[in-house]
Amino acid sequence: MVHWPVTRIIALLVAALGLLGTAAVVSAGPANAEGEAVQGTLRDLAGAPVVGVTITVTNDSGFEDSDVTNAEGAWIVEVPGPGQYSVLLDEETLPDGTTPPTVNPITTSADPGTPRFINFRLGERERNVQTRWDRAAQLSVEGLRFGLVLALAAVGLSLIYGTTGLTNFAHGEIMTFGAIATWFFNVNLGINLIGAAVLGVITSGIFGWVQERGLWRPLRRRGTGLIAMMIVSIGFALALANTYLIIFGGASRPYGDYDSQAGIEFGAVSLTPKDMISMVIAAVILALAGLALLKTRMGKATRAVADNPALAASSGIDVDRVILVVWITGAALAGLGGVMLAMTQQVSYLMGTQTLLLIFAAVTLGGLGTAFGALVGSLVVGMLIQLSTLWINPELKNVGALLVMIIVLMVRPQGILGRRSRVG
Amino acid sequence: MPDESSTAIQRDAAVAALADLAREPGVAKPDPILIADNVVRRFGGLTAVDVEHVEVQRGAITALIGPNGAGKTTFFNLLTGFDKVDEGSWTYNGKSIEGVPPYKVARMGMVRTFQLTKVLTRLTVIENMRLGATGQRGERLLPSIVKALWRGQEREITERADDLLRRFKLDTKREDFAGSLSGGQRKLLEMARSLMVNPELVMLDEPMAGVNPALTQSLLGHVKDLRELGMSVLFVEHDMDMVRDISDWVIVMAQGKIIAEGPPHEVMADTRVIDAYLGAHHDQSLAQIAVDEGLDVPVEILEADGGDQT
Amino acid sequence: MDWGFIFTTSLSSAIGISSIVFCLGAIGLNIQFGYTGLLNFGQAAFLAVAGYGLATTVTTLGLNFWLGIVVGMAATVVLALLLGVPTLRLRADYLAIVTIAAAEILRLTLRSVAFKDTFGGSDGLQQFSDAFYNLNPISPGAYDFGPFKYNEKSWWVIIVGWSLVALWSLLVFLLMRSPFGRVLRGIREDEDAVRSLGKNVYWYKMQALILGGLGGAFAGFMLALGQSAVSPDAYATNLTFLIYVVLIIGGAARVFGPILGALIFSFLFQFVDVVLDQAVNTGVITFMSSTQAAQVRLVMVGVGLMLLMIYRPQGILGDRKELQLDAR
């Protein structure tokens, strides 16, 4: 029975390594420690770093620490844990002629395990104090952005589930893969971020191809059960995430371009150009993917396979080819999602792992196995997470989203758009 | 195994009881064990089952036939609580069992088998059989820890199981994993196991599907035996020879409705029945076209009755 | 390379606190996943509620230690009911998603600043284990038994821990040879078949979830007491995954599977760590740092889990006859 070489998985990991490049990590930008921190880069309106400014972070329980911006304008304060912090810029230490920031101090919250980025906007025009509606508007846009990121990953996860029945716990690692590959092209090879992202997305697609041909298809051929494959994907996720940790390190690193852009104001909403552009790109690509599913031969075949693989095969559809295409596009989309996520959060080896549950939530909300359900579910989850911070502590925002998922499962197990299926 | 004369007696009684009934859908039976009224089940926009009225005679072997997609298995699932109706009510032994969970239906004596056999692969044949017995003390959490509390009952159950295994000629496979049995042996095991529940009404979903011809006669014999042992049988089947051979009464379903009833030879000559069977091919090709076009065909429709003879 | 040292530390680790925690957690998971087929991906949450139930009762509320144990067990039962009631009627993968989400919800809540006064935030809680160590009959000092070197506190934890493992294994043995265990194994194979034979499958699954959760609770107690502390990040999803690895190494649905799995896993985990560490320090391996070497272990755990699931899903104690069934 066992014609399947033991070395295959090793080969897969080596392939992953190879795709990422085995180069020693070149440090760029302010690398920071693992764990909670508040950090940022202080720049003036022209984009030049502002040096020697003292920034102090405090919280209600008496924590206080400060840092002085370095030659790149970067500063970082490690904080004891997640929660609310007040970040104060000492206006006395600003160079002469620099207008103090309009909002100072800034109240922020540190998320578990990830650094929080704070940008003081120096010398901006006067703005009124934010109202709740202003915040709601801003959060909606951020929620939409995050929803699009989730959707990029969720569509692939959902289609893979639909066509193969695999609940892929290693899908978050494809996001990380895309983000790290892009970082490598961008920072190590010096390619502009846009070009690097294109290369990163292509590499992610190749990674999807390698996974399907090297791992999942042979497993299906072997007759490995769905639960066994799910556990294999857990092992794969563990192996990949720690492989990333070994090559990329535990630090979060930014891309070399467009790292800190000034926001552009649209009424109450402030958006950076990179956010706007990446949101448009994500929306266009998702729309194209949807159109392809609806209109093209391959799209129709995909949906037929998701509905009933045996019937689709008997009616002449090449099921393996469909699944391969789903893996390649699904992985490429997830890779793009990873790049977009890294543009706000920076690149870290755990970013995909940390997003996986939210992707699951999105897919489950929309209805397992339906691509459009995954899209809707993602947008709902994204908005929900951001908007919930109007009422609840941001450190608990993911809790809210996961709770909603569980409640939806109780009330409507087939998800928002899923079909009613027979349940025991 | 009961001798030929007693077989004849029981069959004659069943045939005699049903002889004078009108040959029309939903006809009232002299001694019904199961009565269903207005049972409706829809999947999306498609009505899979819409049974106005049907009665199943006690002590008889009743066949439920119909083309693929007629809703026979779905109807089975609804009656036994494995699927939920959209509307309707039905009684078993005069008690309403609408909304009663499947395990309670089974405990009341209405036990079913499945189209795709559900033997418990990684349990041995004898363990499969033992599992069928109801009211086991050792199946409760706390008493299960003390073997003395269930040892005696387990011995009785095992004796009963061994008797049944001998009757079904599975005694040589006693200690084998059920997963190692052939398709026909699995059908036999499933039927034998359902008898461990001590049922009054046995519902067999395609007992002949995928069975090696060599085993067919013995399976038929076992079904007939059930009637002789005082049980009622309702079974879904495609094999017309079998239906003609063993059933006392035939109910025909097409497109979710009951379209004809009567003794086997009369029903099979009925033009409505023949039409329904011919029309079925048309139905199937429609589903095929829909898939070819990449349309969303609800999985339930394809699963509900399409997965025959696997 | 000091092979003597490598083997003694690895052997010590095989019987140490983390091995006990993995073992008890895997015993619970064995009832749920191994025998009943329930995909509980939130076993870490059961450990967490038990540990925090104990710590919160003693440290935050200042109540009795034994009451804390009761509270921890009660909290586990409540968690099992909360997870089971909505999901045990649904398809198997829903339980997986809900349990993994619930474990994460719990961890984020436990470490949140909002509940810092109760649960201690990301620092967790300490100073609840005095009553446990006061029972320790061993007088202070270091005691060596062959390769095993521990002080009196650790020995106390080890004795209590492995005694609990023995008791739980006995319980699992008694349950699984009985008709009750037969129903659970039947549910794992095909729950509709079991339902059609008149068994209340839902209630059996619930009992399995609760029992397995209680196994996890004892793992949680041992983890909390062994470290004299609870901290939220000890209960991350990775803990659940490691418990799966332990169970699958030893063999699911085998009474001794979790024990064998825990011994082998803990030994190898330590062994690889020390070997790589020494190899780096003595210059045998030059292409990576010792931090990276420590991370290689987790890659190996992941790859190991994949290989096990593919080539030997029935584990070391598995039955060859069963494997042949799978190959069909």
Q: How far apart are CA C96 and CA A409, in angstroms?
A: 12
Looking at the fold, whether A76 and A197 belong to one and the same domain comes out as no
Question: Quick check: helix, strand or coil at residue A85?
Answer: strand
Neighbouring C-beta atoms of residue A61, cutoff 10 Å: 12
Residue A94's CATH number:
2.60.40.10
User: Which of A291-295, C91-95, C147-151 bottoms out in mean pLDDT, i.e. has the lowest?
Assistant: C91-95
Chain B: list its partners (3+ Cβ pairs within 8 Å). Answer: A, C
Reading the block at residue A88, the tokens are: 């104060």
**What is the predicted pLDDT for the residue at A77?**
86
Looking at the fold, whether A103 and A46 belong to one and the same domain comes out as yes
Omega before A105 cis (within 30°)? yes
| Residue, of A18 and C19, whose pLDDT is higher | C19
Q: Do B294 and A300 touch (CB under 8 A)?
A: yes
Looking at the fold, whether A178 and A48 belong to one and the same domain comes out as no
Domain limits for position C137: 3-233
Reading the block at residue A422, the tokens are: 């027979």
Q: Are strands B249-254 and C142-145 parallel, antiparallel or unpaired?
A: unpaired
| Residue, of A102 and A94, whose pLDDT is higher | A94
| Residue, of A176 and C322, whose pLDDT is higher | A176
Residue A289 predicted with pLDDT over 60: yes
**What is the predicted pLDDT for the residue at B210?**
77
Q: Which chain C residues are Cβ-neighbours of A2 within 8 angstroms?
A: 311
Return the amino acid letter for B42: R
Q: Are strands B249-254 and B232-236 parallel, antiparallel or unpaired?
A: unpaired
Task: Report the sign of the C-alpha dihedral through residues B254, B257, B260, B262, in that order.
Answer: positive
In which order are the strands placed within the sheet that holds A115-117?
A74-78, A37-41, A115-117
pLDDT tens figures, A190-206: 899 999 999 999 999 99
Confidence of residue A126 (pLDDT cuts 50, 70, 90): very low
Report the number of distinct structural domains present in chain A. 2
Q: Which of residues 160-219 of B touch C (CB under 8 A)?
A: 177, 179-180, 190, 193-194, 196-197
Question: Quick check: helix, strand or coil at residue B31?
Answer: coil
Q: What are phi and psi of B202, to 5 degrees?
A: -105, 125
The rounded Cα C5 to chain-centroid distance in angstroms is 27
Looking at the fold, whether A366 and A222 belong to one and the same domain comes out as yes
- Tell me if C304 is assigned to some domain: no
- Tell me if C125 is assigned to some domain: yes
**What is the predicted pLDDT for the residue at C93?**
76
Q: Within chain B, how many helices (H) and strands (E) appear?
A: 12, 10
| Residue, of C226 and A371, whose pLDDT is higher | C226
Looking at the fold, whether A320 and A227 belong to one and the same domain comes out as yes
Contacts of B168 (CB under 8 A, 6+ apart): B188, B189, B191, B192, B222
Query: Mean pLDDT in chain C?
Result: 91
Q: What is the DSSP string of C68-127?
A: HHHHHHHHHHHHHHHHHHHHTTS-HHHHHHHHHHHHHHHHHHHT-GGGHHHH-GGG-EE-
Provide the shortest C-alpha distance from residue C225 to chain A (in Å): 24
Class of domain B4-119+200-306: alpha beta
Q: Which of residues 283-322 of C touch A (CB under 8 A)?
A: 288, 292, 295-296, 298-307, 309-311, 313
| Residue, of A106 and B108, whose pLDDT is higher | B108
- Answer yes or no: are the C-beta atoms of C219 and C25 closer than 8 Å: yes
The radius of gyration of chain C from alpha carbons, rounded to an integer in Å, stands at 20
**What is the predicted pLDDT for the residue at A417?**
57
Q: Which of residues 55-84 of C touch A (CB under 8 A)?
A: none
With tokens 């190991």, the residue in question is C304
Residue A273's CATH number:
1.10.3470
Q: How far apart are CA B39 and CA B96, in angstroms?
A: 13
Q: Are strands A64-68 and A54-58 parallel, antiparallel or unpaired?
A: antiparallel
Domain limits for position A177: 136-411
- Answer yes or no: are the C-beta atoms of B208 and B219 closer than 8 Å: yes
Contacts of A63 (CB under 8 A, 6+ apart): A57, A79, A80, A85
Provide the shortest C-alpha distance from residue C187 to chain B (in Å): 9
- Tell me if C289 is assigned to some domain: no
What Cα–Cα distance (Å) separates residue A32 from each residue in A256, A309, B113? Answer: 16, 48, 63
- Answer yes or no: are the C-beta atoms of A349 and A245 closer than 8 Å: yes
User: Which of A59-68, A349-358, B93-102 bottoms out in mean pLDDT, i.e. has the lowest?
Assistant: A59-68
Q: Which chain C residues are Cβ-neighbours of A393 within 8 angstroms?
A: 112-114
Query: Any CB–CB contact under 8 A between C127 and chain B?
Result: no
| Residue, of C260 and A309, whose pLDDT is higher | C260
- ipTM score here? 0.89
The rounded Cα A272 to chain-centroid distance in angstroms is 18
Confidence of residue B171 (pLDDT cuts 50, 70, 90): very high
Looking at the fold, whether A196 and A69 belong to one and the same domain comes out as no
Looking at the fold, whether A285 and A374 belong to one and the same domain comes out as yes
Looking at the fold, whether A80 and A198 belong to one and the same domain comes out as no
Q: What is the DSSP string of B77-135?
A: HHHTTSS--SEEEEEETTEE-TT--HHHHHHTTEEE--SS----TTSBHHHHHHHH-SS
pLDDT tens figures, B230-283: 899 999 988 888 888 889 999 999 888 999 999 988 888 887 777 777 665 444
Report the number of distinct structural domains present in chain C. 1
Listed residue (C309, C302, C304) closest to C326, CA to CA: C309
Q: Which of A93, A110, A127 is where one domain is finished?
A: A110
Q: How far apart are CA B28 and CA B148, in angstroms?
A: 50
Q: Which chain C residues are Cβ-neighbours of B104 within 8 angstroms?
A: 198
The rounded Cα A166 to chain-centroid distance in angstroms is 21
DSSP state of B177: B
| Residue, of C216 and C91, whose pLDDT is higher | C216
Q: How far apart are CA C28 and CA C164, in angstroms?
A: 12
Provide the shortest C-alpha distance from residue C22 to chain A (in Å): 17
- Answer yes or no: are the C-beta atoms of B161 and B126 closer than 8 Å: yes
User: Which of A360-374, B201-215, C116-130 bottoms out in mean pLDDT, i.e. has the lowest?
Assistant: A360-374
Give all strands (DSSP E) within chain C, no chain letters.
125-126, 142-145, 148-151, 229-230
Q: What are phi and psi of A227, to 5 degrees?
A: -70, -40
Provide the shortest C-alpha distance from residue B244 to chain A (in Å): 32
- Tell me if C270 is assigned to some domain: no
Confidence of residue B305 (pLDDT cuts 50, 70, 90): very low
Confidence of residue B12 (pLDDT cuts 50, 70, 90): confident
Residue C161 predicted with pLDDT over 80: yes
Provide the shortest C-alpha distance from residue B285 to chain A (in Å): 11
Query: Mean pLDDT in chain B?
Result: 84
User: Which of B16-20, C37-41, C102-106, C183-187 bottoms out in mean pLDDT, i.e. has the lowest?
Assistant: B16-20
Residue of A nearest to C107 (CA): A399
- Answer yes or no: are the C-beta atoms of B201 and B107 closer than 8 Å: no
**What is the predicted pLDDT for the residue at A20?**
61
Q: How far apart are CA A120 and CA A41, in angstroms?
A: 8
Looking at the fold, whether A301 and A399 belong to one and the same domain comes out as yes
Domain ranges of chain B: 4-119+200-306, 120-180
Reading the block at residue A43, the tokens are: 């720049």
Query: Any CB–CB contact under 8 A between C92 and chain A?
Result: yes
Share of chain B above pLDDT 90, in %: 49
Residue C318 predicted with pLDDT over 80: no
